[in-house]
């Protein structure tokens, strides 16, 4: 993506314009992660963080409450705590080409540095004193030492290193030990950069850690736990453990591991003997109470406690004192809040869609009214007195529901997975399977295909004749924006530079007759995401608000003359196309997912399912609403 450069580094936050959000605050609660807990991290100072596939970081406090803050709309796969107890490094990825490491100032919820890599990250850790953030990628020579003070990459090793999956320095930071999945334990002198020791050992170990003052290294392969002498590479013991999660710390002479079983998990201890060998695993604790089909997937030690994260997003806390009984363990997390899936303006108020129900929110009166059940949909569009329900990335039939009576009627079944659906007069315009644009009569359900082609992202109709399609320029015709005459089916490539366009918007109130959208372009190996406006009369395009990054998941909503977007990922932005007034709405702990406006009120649906309310012309949050599990609003 960036030519021959293995990474692209973005500098300090102050230098990146609106790419970085305004300061926000973490919210304190016991709410669980919305998805799997990918990593738990503890340090000697007692600081404990969990990170999840939902992009959230949670700092766990002594009273078992957590400070929640979303750092990415992508999955967080690795984190590393700086010894100062405040800075935390985060690896976020889409599981493919997008691989980014960010360093956060936790106290201020401020992103200090960003490092973009071409290849997946295999290891992320701070040196003992925090002088360097050490990371590795899958690429040969992908060992990076990021100076914590300057934010610059420094070359510390003379010999090119293969990818490593574990790295740890000594307390003095003079040496570093690495585990390479090729089956090597390597020691380097960080002052000279020389390789000073190399030992063959068991290859392809996962979940690697060290314990016993760095004398022992442990890892897992399949259903087997390996304990290895770190100074020889010799295997000291192998133990059968299904679904094991390893917990190692240099402050402990023992290795701990969790073994998952049906509706319970067990904690084992492997003790070192004279610093030269290890004994057999000893069962310390057995815990029941974990939900069916859930399991522990990550864990870390902090003081006298172990914190364990599960596939469902819960976090458990327990000690490691031996007990022969079976304990029923409750998570320190809960699911006290329901999730808002979608929001749509309705007269002077808003419709709210939750997994189980359709509600009507009366902001000025501060209450919510449950109207009817939700028959399993994730998206909605207000249509007169009715609501149209559909599900993104699904062929589930699109239905029309009367919220007063709950009466439901099917409109049509998409020909492919729905990417987008919008009301167009008395019809629907659907984008299906990135290959088809269709028009559906709402009353009769009659579906007619307007355009077929590859790489389609979105479509919008300005009138009964003019249709505009956003697409990938990798497919023919090789442009990101296309005009289609609805009557004749004539297609015309349009003059917009870029590789990928999406999020089209058009408002009849706009006298300029402009189409707005988001476009990604590439120049000199670097990608830029911008807002574009295409003048349908002059047949010309302009771009504005460029962001030096690829942002393929941003949203945009046009309520003339205000354009709302989250390009840049962290904040919702308001831009008045007439007055040119531009500002960002200050976010809470979660990133924005959608913005809707109703008169002077703006509602932001956040990724954690909460709603932030704003005066349309002011940046500060008026209030945050969370839908409780019993269908009531909680204002936090």
Model confidence over 399-418: pLDDT tens digits?
A: 999 999 999 999 999 999 99
Residue 20 has pLDDT above 90, yes or no: no
> Strand runs (DSSP E) across 138-223, as ranges?
143-147, 153-154, 166-169, 175-180, 184-189, 195-200, 206-211, 216-221
Kindly tell me the burial class for residue 153, based on how many C-beta atoms sit within 10 Å of its own C-beta (0-12, 13-18, 19 or more): middle
Q: 221 in a domain, yes or no?
A: yes
Confidence category of residue 3, pLDDT binned at 50, 70, 90:
very low
Residue of 185, 241, 193 whose CA lies nearest to 214: 185
> What 3-state class would DSSP assign to 79?
strand
For residues 543 and 524, give the distance between their C-alpha atoms in angstroms, rounded to a whole number.
18
Domain that includes residue 293, residue range: 205-335
Which distant-in-sequence residues (6+ apart) come within 8 Å of 442 by Cβ? Answer: 383, 388, 400, 411, 423, 426, 427, 428
Overall average pLDDT of the 188-207 stretch: 96
pLDDT in tens, 154-165: 999 988 778 999
* Separation CA 602–CA 483 (nearest Å): 32
Taking only Cα atoms into account, the Rg of the chain, rounded to an integer number of angstroms, comes to 27
**Cβ neighbours of residue 409 under 8 Å, at least 6 residues apart?**
399, 400, 401
pLDDT band at residue 8 under the 50/70/90 scheme? very low
pLDDT at 127 over 90: yes
pLDDT at 22 over 50: no
Give me the CATH number covering residue 232.
2.130.10.10
What are the phi and psi torsion angles at 610 (to 5°)? -95, 170
Which tokens in the block code for residue 509? 């109130």
**Is residue 297 one of the residues assigned to a domain?**
yes
Confidence of residue 24 (pLDDT cuts 50, 70, 90): low
Assess whether pLDDT exceeds 80 at residue 184: yes
Q: What percent of the chain has pLDDT over 90?
A: 81
- How do the residues of the chain divide into helix, strand and coil, expressed in percent and rounded to 5? 0, 55, 45
Instruction: Report the C-alpha gap between 114 and 151 in whole angstroms.
Output: 9
Residue 507: what are its φ and ψ, rounded to 5°?
-130, 125
- Strand pairing partners for 283? 268
Q: 175: which 2 tokens?
A: 């040496």
* 573 HSE (CA, 13 A, CB side): 23
pLDDT at res. 152: 95
Residue 285 lies in a domain: yes
- Residue among 309, 310, 252, 237 nearest 284 (CA): 252
In a domain, 226, yes or no: yes
26 band by pLDDT with thresholds 50, 70 and 90: confident
Res 344: pLDDT? 96
Does 7 have pLDDT greater than 80? no
Q: Which residue has the tokens 């003059």?
A: 495
Q: Has residue 258 been placed in a domain?
A: yes
Q: Quick one: tokens of 578?
A: 């007439």
Domain membership flag for residue 288: yes
The yes-or-no verdict on residue 568 having pLDDT over 80 is no
Whether the CB-CB separation of 211 and 254 falls below 8 Å is answered with yes
Rounded-to-integer distance, Cα 616 and Cα 579, Å: 14
Those residues whose C-beta lies under 8 Å from the C-beta of residue 177, and which sit 6 or more positions away, are 167, 168, 169, 185, 186, 187, 210, 214, 230
Domain assignment present for 305: yes
In a domain, 292, yes or no: yes
Query: What's the rounded mean pLDDT across residues 310-322?
Result: 95
pLDDT of amino acid 16: 29
- The region, left, alpha or beta by phi > 0 then psi within -120 to 50, assigned to residue 172 is alpha
Q: What DSSP designation does 405 have? A: T
Q: What pTM did the predictor assign?
A: 0.88
Burial (0-12, 13-18, 19+ Cβ within 10 Å), 415: middle
The answer on pLDDT for 322 being more than 80 is yes
Span 234-290, pLDDT tens digits: 999 999 998 899 999 988 999 999 999 888 999 999 999 888 899 999 999 999 988
Distance CA 398, CA 84 (A): 53
Does the pLDDT of residue 1 top 50, yes or no? no
Number of folded domains in the chain? 1
Whether the predicted pLDDT of 561 surpasses 90: yes
Q: How does the average pLDDT of the chain come out, rounded?
A: 92
Rounded CA-CA distance 598/613 in Å is 11
Residues 6+ apart with CB under 8 A from 238: 224, 225, 226, 227
Residue 553 confidence (pLDDT) above 90: no
Report how far residue 590's alpha carbon sits from residue 406's, in angstroms, rounded to the nearest whole number.
32
The Cα angle at residue 565 between residues 3 and 598, in degrees rounded to 5: 170
% of the chain at pLDDT higher than 70? 96
Cα(68)–Cα(589) distance, rounded to whole angstroms? 6
Residue 477 has pLDDT above 60, yes or no: yes
């Amino acid at each position: 993506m960036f030519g021959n450069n293995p990474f692209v580094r973005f500098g300090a936050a102050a230098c990146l314009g609106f790419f970085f959000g305004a300061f926000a605050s973490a919210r304190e609660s016991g709410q669980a992660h919305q998805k799997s807990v990918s990593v738990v991290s503890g340090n000697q100072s007692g600081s404990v963080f969990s990170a999840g596939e939902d992009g959230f970081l949670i700092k766990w406090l002594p009273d078992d409450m957590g400070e929640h803050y979303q750092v990415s709309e992508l999955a967080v796969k690795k984190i590393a705590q700086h010894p100062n107890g405040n800075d935390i490094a985060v690896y976020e990825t889409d599981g493919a080409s997008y691989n980014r490491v960010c360093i956060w100032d936790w106290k201020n919820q401020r992103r200090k540095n960003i490092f973009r890599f071409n290849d997946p990250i295999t290891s992320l850790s701070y040196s003992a004193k925090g002088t360097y953030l050490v990371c590795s990628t899958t690429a040969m020579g992908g060992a990076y030492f990021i100076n914590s003070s300057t934010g610059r990459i420094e070359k510390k090793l003379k010999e090119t290193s293969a990818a490593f999956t574990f790295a740890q320095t000594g307390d003095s930071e003079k040496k570093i030990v690495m585990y390479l999945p090729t089956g090597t334990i390597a020691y380097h002198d960080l002052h000279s950069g020389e390789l000073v020791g190399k030992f063959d050992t068991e290859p392809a170990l996962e979940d690697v850690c060290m314990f016993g003052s760095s004398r022992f290294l442990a890892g897992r392969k399949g259903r087997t736990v390996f304990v290895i002498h770190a100074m020889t590479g010799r295997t000291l013991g192998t133990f059968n453990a299904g679904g094991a999660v390893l917990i190692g710390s240099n402050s402990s002479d023992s290795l701990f591991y969790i073994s998952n079983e049906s509706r319970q998990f067990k904690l084992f201890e492997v003790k070192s003997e004279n610093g030269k060998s290890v004994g057999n695993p000893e069962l310390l604790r057995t815990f029941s109470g974990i939900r069916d089909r859930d399991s522990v997937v990550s864990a870390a030690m902090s003081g006298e406690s172990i914190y364990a994260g599960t596939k469902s997003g819960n976090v458990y806390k327990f000690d490691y004192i031996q007990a022969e009984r079976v304990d029923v363990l409750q998570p320190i997390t809960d699911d006290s809040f329901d999730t808002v899936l979608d929001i749509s303006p309705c007269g002077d108020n808003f419709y709210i869609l939750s997994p189980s129900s359709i509600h009507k929110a009366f902001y000025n009166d501060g209450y919510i009214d449950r109207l009817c059940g939700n028959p399993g949909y994730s998206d909605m569009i207000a249509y007169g007195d009715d609501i149209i329900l559909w599900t993104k990335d699904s062929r589930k039939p699109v239905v029309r529901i009367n919220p007063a009576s709950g009466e439901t009627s099917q409109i049509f079944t998409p020909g492919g997975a729905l990417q987008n659906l919008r009301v167009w007069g008395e019809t629907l315009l659907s984008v299906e399977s990135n290959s088809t644009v269709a028009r559906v009569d709402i009353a009769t359900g009659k579906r007619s295909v307007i355009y077929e082609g590859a790489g389609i992202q979105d479509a919008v109709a300005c009138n009964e004749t003019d249709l505009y399609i956003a697409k990938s320029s990798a497919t023919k015709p090789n442009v990101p924006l296309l005009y289609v005459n609805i009557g004749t089916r004539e297609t015309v490539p349009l003059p917009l530079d870029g590789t990928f366009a999406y999020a089209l918007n058009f408002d009849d109130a706009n006298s300029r007759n402009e189409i707005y959208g988001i476009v990604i372009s590439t120049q000199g190996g670097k990608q830029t995401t911008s807002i574009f406006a295409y003048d349908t009369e002059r047949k010309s395009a302009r771009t504005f608000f460029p962001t030096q990054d690829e942002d393929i998941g941003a949203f945009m909503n046009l309520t003339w003359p205000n354009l709302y977007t989250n390009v840049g990922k962290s904040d919702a932005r308001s831009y008045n196309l007439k007055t040119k007034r531009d500002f960002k709405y200050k976010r809470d702990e979660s990133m924005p997912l959608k913005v809707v406006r109703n008169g002077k009120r703006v509602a932001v649906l956040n990724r954690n399912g909460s709603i932030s309310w704003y005066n349309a012309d002011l940046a500060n949050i008026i209030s945050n609403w969370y839908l409780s599990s019993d269908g009531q609003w909680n204002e936090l």
